[in-house]
Amino acid sequence: MSAKTNPEVIKESSMVKQKGMIAGNYDRLTGTKESGEKVVSTFVPGNLNELIMCFDMVNNLPETNAIQNGMRKQSGGMIMDAEKAGHSEDVCTYVKADIGMMGRGNIAPNGKPMPAPDMLLLSYTGCFTFMKWFELLRHEYKCPTVMLQIPYQGDGKITKNMRDFVVKQLKEEVIPMFEQVSGVKFDIDRLREYLKNSAKAEDNLVWVLESAKNRPSPIDAYFGGVYYIGPMFTAFRGTTDAVEYYDLVRGEIEQRIREGKGPITPEGDMKEEKYRLVVEGPPNWTSFREFWKLFYDEGAVVVASSYTKVGGLYDQGFRHDPNDPLGTLADYCLGCYANNNLPQRVELLEKYMNEYQADGLLINSIKSCNSFSAGQLLMMREIEKRTGKPAAFIETDLVDPRYFSHANVKNRLESYFQMVDQKRSGASLATA
């Protein structure tokens, strides 16, 4: 009897390019001892990659390291190491995976040790955990640290005072710290050029995400969407590589639309679109392919998601503006999804439900992610009331394999799809 093997993952040209970009950034990070380049650690929401590049520094994002370890099935042991060291079970598992990774030699995906950061940059965009996380990193690395305080949109709007406050910090605290650590003088014209690249890439990213309005949707905007947002949300926004990547992705999606194809999955083209969903909350990374398979096996495609906006609400009109370099960085940070209040988040989900002709809302509640999970039950009930469409709740975690139950998620999804079918049948009878 032959051993069971996983089907070969289907990859498009854009996926191959992105893989090369990520590998190149890890090689650059782990090669800083030889190159002499300085490293700055920061986070995805409020990631000021264009500004970082102005000082010839290498961008290291602890969240993406945790995701990489989760997808490579290594985060579980790291999390348990952190818990043995005293970190609570309720602490964000990105944090514990990062702490555990440090304890195991801080080995990057290329098998080489990660460098200690020369600087920590915290753009505080609504997630309190980030602040505590950086306290731990500052204690560990004892390097210069700067915090960019981003006012929360408690009233659901960005005021001039909020914007001016962020710009003032950029001028008086963040940029001087970069100059001090890097030894490179700030050049605002250099920043403008990077912002031009960002805006070009952002146009194509939005086009790709909005292509899900087609029937069938040529993309999955959640499971596939996390790949599409990768370069934009990490160390590549502002680069020519990102511009080329999004040109490539757009061309691939245009071809899928011409051919009437649905999303590409790890097992090839999705055969039939039965359910169109909006999803709130991050995905589970430790069982990512198994999680996705539970959807596409049922013909369910995610046409819009909140998680793919965590690093910027580009589809709501924001673009980086090279004509106002520091002001546009402030606008970007202020507008990140996690910095939006609860009514704003509900309104966005309702908009997605209507514009993408979704059959229902699904919430993946993450055990250890308070910035997403707070208020989700209220959001679910409000969307049901406003749209008349069924909503459901499943529970997993970011990178802790102990909190992904395949059988439990499968049962809940099957029950939910039955709800959607019943709702459709009732609507058909009402109009007959």
**What is the CB neighbour count within 10 angstroms for residue 111?**
8
User: Residue 347: which pLDDT band, with cuts at 50, 70 and 90?
Assistant: very high
Using CA atoms, how far apart are residues 302 and 83, in angstroms rounded to an integer? 34
Question: Per-residue pLDDT averaged across 80-99, rounded?
Answer: 93
Per-residue pLDDT band at 278 (split at 50, 70, 90): very high
Candidate from 36-50, 88-102, 120-134, 220-234 with smallest mean pLDDT: 120-134
The set of residues, in sequence order, having a beta carbon less than 8 Å from that of 216 and lying 6+ positions away, is 260, 261, 262, 270, 273, 301
Query: What mean pLDDT value characterizes the chain?
Result: 94
Return d(Cα 146, Cα 180) in angstroms, integer.
Answer: 12
pLDDT band at 143 (very low <50, low <70, confident <90, very high): very high
pTM for the whole structure: 0.94
**What pLDDT is recorded for position 424?**
86
pLDDT of residue 9: 58
Q: Are strands 391-396 and 360-366 parallel, antiparallel or unpaired?
A: parallel
* pLDDT for residue 3 is more than 60: no
Mean pLDDT value of segment 356-368: 94
Q: When comparing pLDDT for 232 and 126, which is higher? A: 232
Given a cut of 80, whether residue 1 has pLDDT beyond it is: no
Model pLDDT, residue 195: 98
Specify the range with the lowest mean pLDDT, choosing from 292-296, 347-351, 370-374.
Answer: 370-374
Lowest mean pLDDT among 206-210, 372-376, 427-431: 427-431
Per cent of the chain over pLDDT 90 is 88
Q: What is the pLDDT of residue 428?
A: 61
pLDDT at 44 over 60: yes
Whether the per-residue pLDDT at 388 is higher than 90: the answer is yes
pLDDT digits (tens, 9 = 90+) for 219-240: 999 999 999 999 999 999 999 9
pLDDT-based confidence at residue 12 (cuts at 50, 70, 90):
confident
Asked if pLDDT for residue 372 goes beyond 90, the answer is no
